[in-house]
Structure formats: structure tokens, C-alpha cells
Amino acid sequence: MGTIQPRPFAMANGQPFVVRTARPEDADEVVAFVKAVTAEAPYLLTTEAEVTVTGKQQTQSLQRMMNDPGKLALLAEHDGEMIGFLDFHNGNKQRIKHQGFFGMSVRKDFRRQRVGTALLTALIDWAAENPLIEKVCLEVVADNRSALRLYQKFGFVEEGVKKKAVKVDNETYWDLILMARFVDSRCRADGGAS
């Protein structure tokens, strides 16, 4: 099942927060969070206008993720408020079920407070214990230095670059860096098995 036990963490300023599974009853809050973060986060690929999911659709999505052992949706919560979100999806085909991609966002006023670190810790721990998952992957905008530092701190390595993969406007393009980390001790970064 795509769930974790709630985990307590502390921000850089000492305030407590919790990382837990995003449940179907959190759907409206997740939709509002995604809309708000999309409006304020410079490096997200989705624009604010493209966030059209309804509460009902999000409810169904969160339920499917909870029922699927290769998927996980997490939220970070402080004083009853959602301050971060992460979702992980493994491959749908037999030969790529062992790997998956995640996306993560943190509310602007809670960035640089270890919220992203906590979400990533919970994901990596879950993936390492999950018999299905061997490799965790992501794509990050090349200019997003703080995100790159965080992922490198967690042992993610660059696997490639998609040149001009994101078109911001008619004159601005972003490269996307492909990064991954193996969580299964049977795998090596060179693709072989121990």
C-alpha cells in the first residue's frame, strides 16, 4: 500500500511539523495547495492556469495512490496547515515498475526550513522498504540550485540533461537535469546487479 506512518520533524527554526500520507479526505486542501504553490513557485512545470483538477478527481487520485503499492502521496503539515506535498509514481508497465518519478513542492514561506528534506527522507525510507521500488528518479530545472543541492545531499546523481526541455516564453528555455538514486542494495549505479 502507498502509505507511511505519520512522522514528526522539526523545522530549522525548531517548530514541529508532521509528514504523513495524503488521504482522500485531504483532496480539497491538496487542490488549494497546488494552486497556491503553482502561482508562487518559479520552477514548476505546471502553470497556474493548468491546475484544473477538481476536489472529486483529487479524492479519486489519492485513493488510487493509497491502494497502489508503487505510488505514494505525502503531505507536510504544520499547525493543521499543509506546507508541503510530494507524489511518487512508479512505471505502469512490467519492465519499468521497479522505478518511478516524484515531484515535490513546499509553500514559499516554509522553504529553507527542512520541509523538503523531511518529505524526501520519508520517500526514500518508504522506497527502500518497498520490495517493488529499486530506483527513484526526478527531473529538475538546471537553474534550480537549491533543489539540486538537496537532491545531491540525498545521493541522487545526474543521469542526463534534456536541453531546452521547458519553454517559458518565446525567448527563455530551461534545461532539465535527470537525476536518480538507487534504493535497492541489489542495484548498482552502473545498471548491473551485485
pTM as predicted = 0.92
Q: Which of 85, 77, 76 has the alpha carbon at shortest distance from 53?
A: 85
What per-residue confidence (pLDDT) applies to 47?
Answer: 82
Band the pLDDT of 35: cuts 50, 70, 90.
very high
State the pLDDT confidence band at 194, using cuts at 50, 70 and 90: very low
pLDDT of residue 186: 61
Average model confidence (pLDDT) for the chain?
93
Domains defined for the chain, CATH in brackets:
7-137 (3.40.630.30)
Q: What's the number of CA atoms in the CB half-sphere (13 Å) around residue 22?
A: 30
Please report the DSSP string for 42-108 in residue order.
TT-SS-GGG----HHHHHHHHHHHHH-TTEEEEEEEETTEEEEEEEEEE-SSGGGTTEEEEEEEE-G
Sheet containing 71-78: which strands, arranged edge to edge?
7-10, 16-21, 71-78, 81-90, 99-106, 135-141, 173-182, 157-167
Provide the pLDDT confidence category of residue 46 given band limits of 50, 70 and 90: confident
How much is the pLDDT for 24?
97
Looking at residues 179-183, what average pLDDT do you find? 97
Is the predicted pLDDT of residue 190 greater than 60, yes or no?
no
What is the CB neighbour count within 10 angstroms for residue 193? 8
